[in-house]
């Protein structure tokens, strides 16, 4: 079946009794089912009471949902993965599956909390800046390298707000890593992480950094005047993460070490490097990465950075922006296996050419001509003059069988053509034509498709081609043996007329013989004329009937050819065209889903 890789289109479909589909039967589907749930209507805001808690930060109960456009794109990506599982290898779909898993896990938690990671190189002052943002010494600072052995976090939350602990659990960090901060309304909902140095000599530190960078909502990259152009930073992190510009901050720390205009010069050069990395900069009101200069030592610029983080948290959109960037990256990497210039449709002329070649393989045209000749030969024997039949009998008696053998060859050719060429030589020729026809239609259908889908089309046609020649033989044999043309009634009438004319001729000859011997006295001139008329009427009747028989003979041949064509076309449709059309239909569906997953900007 063409939909063997299709996963459930709807995670919640209710039957007449109201029983829903069990999601626990498919763990992967259950993990993705969050974005299929109907979106709840937002409750109208009401007056806050003392019981609400003035400092209570929104938790899981009040978590906002991602926007409808992003939900639709994720749903399309889920459909895309399901339709492609049996056509693409797991490595190709791994990134898309990871994005779906991360989106499901992130949405189950509070989207009103924003997880921001502070990342940087060894000696950049990353932990010092983390402490400056936190307002107290939470991270260890010192000359030892690397100083940060494991990630730590602080959160601005209200009473009874356990969402930060749930977010840390998703990040794989223990609860002890979280240091609660005094509630700050401007930063309420912010979870700030201090990551290990990504250029650490300890392999586990780099692994932790890359794992956490894949799950946080935003990143503050901390650089210093000496290492802001570090190749590892730009080539391994900033360049691959250029699509996450809207949730990226690049902070030049230790700006107090730069005298005069040197700080502006370094910032300009840093912006140049970021532009070369493909990272859009958020300047002049445009969305993009923010570039700031701060000094964790003196506190210069820290308030500006806190203000930017406060704005990011208040928007409650960092998590969705991060998911959108994840989705954009995954979709972009899948473009080569989903987007093509091919029409993804099997045209009518291609179908007709394929059916014509199958008809050629079973010898439909030759069988039709043979059937026409056979019908005319049978008609000739039915309405032919008696003298002609006597002459044929006499030739057979004398051993002159060339004409009869020619007629027999015609009849055998008709039967062989109607049976599709059951003889060994005919079958081998038919198989070659069939294989050529299958290759041609598969090549036409797969033209312009991406590699995996073109291969799927060829594989589907190849499976159908196996045994197609034998099936064509069997179908053609059934067609050839299944219908014997009925003898027209006028054949019997003409045959009786020919017999009557022959009897009259014999009677006239007998009377003439009697008259010649004197046994009877008759007007022999009249008898002779009548005998001549009867003798000429037989061949004349045969000639007229031969002309009349051309039309029915032609129709009989055309009918034989048509039935063979239909039988061959039916076999070809069932074994080749329908599987190929199913693959093209699947590709069209995944291409449409890809366009939705790409946000409607994909070139399909």
Tokens of 52: 């609400």
Residue 112 near residue 316 (C-beta atoms within 8 A):
yes
Provide the pLDDT for residue 9.
36
- Between 87-96, 187-196, 233-242, 374-383, the lowest mean confidence (pLDDT) is in 374-383
- Between 44-58, 77-91, 347-361, 442-456, the lowest mean confidence (pLDDT) is in 44-58
- Does the pLDDT of residue 33 top 50, yes or no? no
Q: Report the distance separating Cα 73 and Cα 77, nearest Å.
A: 6
Q: How far is residue 350 from each of residues 82, 164, 355, 499, 512, measured CA to CA in Å?
A: 30, 61, 9, 55, 72
- Does the pLDDT of residue 503 top 50, yes or no? yes
Structural domains for the chain: 24-37+62-112+316-333 (no CATH), 114-315 (3.40.50.300), 348-488+556-597 (no CATH)
Is residue 155 classed as helix, strand or coil in its secondary structure? strand
Provide the pLDDT for residue 603.
52
Q: Report the distance separating Cα 170 and Cα 91, nearest Å.
A: 24
Give me the half-sphere count of Cα atoms (radius 13 Å) on the Cβ side of residue 26.
Answer: 15
Is residue 119 classed as helix, strand or coil in its secondary structure? strand
Residues of the chain by 3-state class (helix, strand, coil), percent to 5? 60, 5, 30
Residue 80 near residue 96 (C-beta atoms within 8 A):
yes
- Does the pLDDT of residue 51 top 60, yes or no? no
- Does the pLDDT of residue 313 top 50, yes or no? yes
Q: Report the distance separating Cα 595 and Cα 587, nearest Å.
A: 12
Tokens of 425: 């030589």
| pLDDT tens per residue across span 207-228 | 899 999 999 999 999 999 998 9
601-604 contact pairs (CB < 8 A, 24+):
602/331, 602/335, 602/338, 602/339, 603/339, 604/338, 604/339
**Residue with more model confidence, 399 or 206:** 206
DSSP 8-state secondary structure symbol assigned to residue 56: P
In 72-162, the DSSP E strands lie at: 114-120, 152-156
- Adjacent-strand bridge partners of 155: 180, 191
| pLDDT tens per residue across span 156-173 | 886 667 888 899 889 988
Torsions phi, psi for 169 (to 5 deg): -65, -40
pTM for the model stands at: 0.69
Residue 251 near residue 223 (C-beta atoms within 8 A):
yes
Residue 456 near residue 87 (C-beta atoms within 8 A):
yes
Distance, C-alpha 229 to centroid of its chain? 44
Strand 152-156 to strand 248-252: parallel, antiparallel, or no bridges (unpaired)? unpaired
| pLDDT tens per residue across span 574-602 | 999 999 999 999 999 999 999 999 987 55
Question: What is the pLDDT averaged over residues 323-343?
Answer: 90
Q: Report the distance separating Cα 490 and Cα 578, nearest Å.
A: 46
Q: Report the distance separating Cα 276 and Cα 478, nearest Å.
A: 72
Q: How many helices (H) and strands (E) does the chain have?
A: 21, 7
Is residue 153 classed as helix, strand or coil in its secondary structure? strand
DSSP 8-state secondary structure symbol assigned to residue 194: E
DSSP 8-state secondary structure symbol assigned to residue 236: I
Q: Assess whether the previous peptide bond of 536 is cis (omega < 30° from 0).
A: no
Provide the pLDDT for residue 383.
65
What is the length of the chain?
A: 604
Provide the pLDDT for residue 121.
87
529-534 contact pairs (CB < 8 A, 24+):
530/504, 531/504, 531/505, 534/501, 534/502, 534/504, 534/505, 534/508
Question: What is the pLDDT averaged over residues 450-471?
Answer: 89
Q: Report the distance separating Cα 530 and Cα 533, nearest Å.
A: 5
Distance, C-alpha 414 to centroid of its chain? 45
Handedness of CA 272, 273, 274, 278 (dihedral sign): positive
| pLDDT tens per residue across span 521-537 | 666 666 677 767 777 77
Residues 6 or more apart whose Cβ sits within 8 Å of residue 343: 448
Handedness of CA 440, 446, 447, 452 (dihedral sign): negative
What is the band of 99 on the pLDDT scale with cuts at 50, 70, 90? very high
């Amino acid at each position: 079946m063409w939909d063997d890789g299709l996963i459930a289109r709807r995670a919640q479909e209710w039957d007449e009794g109201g029983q829903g589909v069990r999601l626990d039967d498919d763990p992967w589907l259950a993990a993705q089912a969050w974005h299929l749930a109907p979106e709840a209507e937002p409750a109208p805001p009401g007056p806050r009471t003392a019981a609400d808690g003035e400092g209570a930060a929104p938790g899981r109960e009040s978590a906002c949902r991602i926007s409808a456009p992003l939900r639709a794109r994720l749903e399309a990506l889920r459909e895309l993965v399901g339709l492609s599982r049996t056509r693409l290898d797991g490595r190709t779909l791994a990134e898309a599956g990871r994005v779906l898993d991360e989106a499901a896990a992130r949405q189950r938690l509070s989207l009103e909390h924003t997880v921001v990671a502070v990342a940087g190189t060894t000696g950049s002052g990353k932990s010092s800046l983390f402490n400056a943002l936190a307002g107290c010494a939470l991270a260890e600072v010192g000359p030892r390298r690397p100083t940060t052995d494991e990630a730590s976090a602080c959160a601005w939350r209200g009473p009874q707000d356990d969402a930060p602990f749930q977010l840390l659990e998703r990040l794989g960090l223990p609860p002890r890593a979280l240091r609660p901060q005094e509630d700050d309304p401007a930063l309420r909902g912010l979870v700030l992480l201090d990551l290990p140095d990504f250029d650490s000599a300890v392999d586990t530190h780099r692994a932790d950094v890359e794992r956490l960078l894949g799950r946080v909502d935003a990143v503050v990259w901390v650089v210093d005047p000496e290492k802001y152009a570090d190749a590892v930073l730009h080539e391994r992190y900033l360049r691959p993460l250029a699509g996450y510009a809207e949730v990226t901050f690049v902070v030049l720390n230790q700006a107090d070490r730069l005298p005069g205009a040197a700080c502006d010069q370094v910032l300009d050069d840093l912006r140049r490097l970021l532009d070369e990395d493909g990272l859009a900069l958020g300047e002049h009101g445009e969305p993009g990465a923010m570039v700031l200069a701060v000094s964790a030592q003196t506190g210069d610029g820290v308030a500006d950075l806190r203000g930017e983080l406060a704005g990011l948290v208040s928007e409650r959109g960092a998590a969705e922006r991060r998911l959108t960037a994840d989705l954009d990256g995954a979709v972009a990497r899948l473009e080569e296996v989903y987007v093509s210039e091919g029409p993804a449709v099997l045209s009518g002329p291609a179908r007709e050419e394929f059916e014509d070649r199958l008809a050629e393989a079973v010898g439909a045209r030759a069988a039709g001509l043979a059937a026409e000749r056979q019908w005319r030969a049978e008609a000739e024997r039915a309405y032919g003059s008696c003298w002609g039949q006597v002459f044929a009998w006499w030739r057979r008696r004398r051993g002159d069988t060339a004409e009869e053998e020619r007629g027999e060859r015609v009849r055998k050719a008709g039967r062989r053509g109607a049976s599709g060429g059951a003889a060994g030589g005919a079958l081998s020729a038919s198989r070659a034509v069939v294989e050529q026809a299958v290759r041609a239609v598969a090549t036409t259908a797969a033209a312009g498709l991406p590699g995996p889908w073109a291969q799927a089309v060829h594989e589907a046609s190849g499976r159908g081609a196996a045994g197609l020649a034998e099936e064509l033989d069997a179908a053609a044999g059934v067609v050839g043996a299944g219908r014997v043309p009925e003898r027209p009634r006028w054949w019997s009438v003409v045959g009786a007329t020919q017999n009557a004319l022959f009897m009259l001729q014999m009677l006239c000859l007998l009377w003439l013989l009697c008259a010649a011997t004197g046994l009877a006295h008759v007007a022999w001139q009249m008898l002779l004329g009548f005998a001549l008329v009867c003798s000429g009427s037989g061949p004349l009747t045969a000639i007229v009937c031969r002309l009349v028989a051309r039309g029915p003979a032609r129709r009989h041949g055309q009918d034989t050819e048509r039935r063979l064509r239909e039988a061959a076309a039916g076999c070809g449709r069932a074994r080749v065209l329908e599987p190929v059309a199913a693959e093209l239909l699947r590709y069209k569906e995944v291409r449409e889903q890809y366009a939705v997953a790409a946000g409607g900007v994909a070139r399909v």
